[in-house]
């Protein structure tokens, strides 16, 4: 069987499990966005006036609740027939009507994935003798979600949730240990980067990669991250440090930002003072996560492709024809925005990061 020479890149919309072809027909613009902090969002704009079955004249569309309404489950797939991927699955949370003189009326729909439940729930609670993975699993259960918590970390003596939404609280917990948060198929995932599985892609500048801006920047690099405190149980000072060995385990070649910084400055440490660890393991986890966060962003790239359904947060990229310092493997995608409109069709905008630059001759 041969691949089709031409195919439509128009998105396919489903509402409550039923395909709605009229939404693809009347679509003006689609945007689906996600990053490592979780909560995938959608905005879709449609022509809001046209023919309707059984009506002789044109009528207003999508404002009667027959197709689009609050709380309905909206799914979107995009891509070629043999490679279409679902890029959004969530619940409609907002509707907007736009009437402007000299222009056809428009209706916009906004939706969020299942993490919306966590965003809408605010609470104060004390969590005792639990790991962050345990906390994430329990919060998932409170919202009727399954949990896949694959994040190593300490068992915290006491964790306070002070009038925070469950989403904001879990984002904070994820930051402290270098984990990421997302939802897929009604499962809440709370995992460190090495436990996240996604696609592996090669993008060639001048081919599928329409444009890219790459930067290697020492501004936020540090030779080490230090975290201190006092262990009341052991009656001793806590003094932990995250250093280059934390990131070396993740790279397979090139020069890290920490190594380059060390050639320029002999002292460049940072001290974390906002967190108050009560045990050595807590301080060690905080120091390591902060060091990794900085080191991983030594090289950053923002790019646009012709439309890549397989490109998602967590994808590993190889970039080609982007110059020796930036060439090669090791890029990790941290933000993705899929767009579709009548001018450009499907485009995929992404941000990615890497801890190293290549060795130049």
Q: How many CB atoms lie within 10 A of CB 198?
A: 14
pLDDT at 2: 46
> What order do you get walking across the sheet with 187-192 strand by strand?
146-150, 187-192, 179-184
Q: How far apart are CA 191 and CA 58, in angstroms?
A: 51
The correct CATH number of 117-192 out of 3.40.50.720, 3.55.50.10, 3.90.1200.10, 3.40.190.100 is: 3.55.50.10
What is the SS3 assignment for 213? strand
Domain spans in the chain, listed from the N-terminal domain onward: 12-112, 117-192, 200-217+299-357, 224-292
- Nearest CA among 116, 340, 124, 292 for reference residue 194: 292
Query: Tens digit of pLDDT per residue, the chain (361 long)?
Result: 344 545 557 899 999 999 999 999 999 999 999 999 999 999 999 999 877 766 667 788 899 999 999 999 999 999 887 778 999 999 999 999 999 888 889 999 999 999 999 999 999 999 999 999 999 999 999 999 999 999 999 999 899 999 999 999 999 999 999 999 999 999 999 999 999 999 999 999 999 999 999 999 999 999 999 999 888 778 889 898 888 888 988 888 899 999 999 998 877 788 887 788 888 999 999 999 999 999 999 999 999 999 999 999 999 999 999 999 999 999 999 999 999 999 999 999 999 999 999 854 3
C-alpha Rg value of the chain to the nearest Å: 24
pLDDT at 56: 62
Contact 230, 238 (CB under 8 A): yes
pLDDT at 1: 39
Q: How far apart are CA 143 and CA 121, in angstroms?
A: 9
Model confidence pTM above 0.75: yes
């Amino acid at each position: 069987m041969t691949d089709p020479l031409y195919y439509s890149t128009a998105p396919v919309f489903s509402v409550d499990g039923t395909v709605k072809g009229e939404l693809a027909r009347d679509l003006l613009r689609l945007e689906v966005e996600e990053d490592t902090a979780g909560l995938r969002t959608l905005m879709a704009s449609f022509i809001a006036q046209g023919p309707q079955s059984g009506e002789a004249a044109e009528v207003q569309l999508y404002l009667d609740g027959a197709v689009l309404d609050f709380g309905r489950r909206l799914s979107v797939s995009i891509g070629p027939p043999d490679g279409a991927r679902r890029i959004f699955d969530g619940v409609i949370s907002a509707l907007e009507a736009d009437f402007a003189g000299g222009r056809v009326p428009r209706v916009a729909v906004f939706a969020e994935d299942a993490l919306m439940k966590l965003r809408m729930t605010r609470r104060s609670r004390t969590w005792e003798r639990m790991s962050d993975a345990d906390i994430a699993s329990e919060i998932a259960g409170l919202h009727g979600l399954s949990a896949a918590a694959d994040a190593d970390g300490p068992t915290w003596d006491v964790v306070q949730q002070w009038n925070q939404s469950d989403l904001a609280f879990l984002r904070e917990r994820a930051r402290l240990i270098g984990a990421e948060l997302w939802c897929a198929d009604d499962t809440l995932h709370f995992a460190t980067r090495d436990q996240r599985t996604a696609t592996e892609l090669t993008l060639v500048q001048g081919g599928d990669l329409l444009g890219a801006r790459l930067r290697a920047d020492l501004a936020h690099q540090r030779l080490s991250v230090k975290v201190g405190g006092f262990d009341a149980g052991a009656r001793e000072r806590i003094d932990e440090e995250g250093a280059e060995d934390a990131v070396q385990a993740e790279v397979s070649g090139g020069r890290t930002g920490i190594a380059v910084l060390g050639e320029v400055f002999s002292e460049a440490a940072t001290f974390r003072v906002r967190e108050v660890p009560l045990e050595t393991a807590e301080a060690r986890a905080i120091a390591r996560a902060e060091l990794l966060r900085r080191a991983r962003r030594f090289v950053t790239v923002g790019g646009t492709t012709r439309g890549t359904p397989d490109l998602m947060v967590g994808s590993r990229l190889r970039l080609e024809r982007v110059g020796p310092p930036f060439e090669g493997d090791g890029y990790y995608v941290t933000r993705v925005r899929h767009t579709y409109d009548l001018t450009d069709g499907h485009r995929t905008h992404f941000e990615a990061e890497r801890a190293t630059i290549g060795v130049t001759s």
